[in-house]
Amino acid sequence: MLEIRPSCEHCNKDLPVDTADAMICTFECTFCRDCVENVLENVCPNCGGDFTQRPVRPKHLLEKYPVSEKRIYKPVDVETHLQRIKNL
């Protein structure tokens, strides 16, 4: 089951459970769409994978399966990231 993390790891923007703006990689690294498209060039800085839109957990399941409250905030060194993806 997905954690549904509450924020973008790069810019710390809030990503509510029902937003279409949240993007995840296969390891659930979570970023906002703006950072994925305009900063990260659709490459996860943690695993090198791509992103997909995070699914929305139905409201009727939130009580039984709550979303994560753990914020992961580790801004990406953009220059290093872009250099790394050039070498992939």
Separation CA 82–CA 87 (nearest Å): 9
Sign of CA dihedral 14, 19, 25, 27: positive
pLDDT tens-digit series, residues 39-63? 999 999 999 999 999 999 999 999 9
pLDDT tens-digit series, residues 14-32? 999 999 999 999 999 999 9
Give the pTM: 0.93
DSSP letters along 15-84, please? Answer: --TT-S-EEE-TT--EEEHHHHHHTSTT--TTTS---EEPPPPPGGGTTTSPPP---------HHHHHHH
Determine whether domain 1-69 maps to CATH 1.20.5: no
Q: Using the predicted structure, report yes or no on whether residue 88 has a pLDDT greater than 80.
A: no
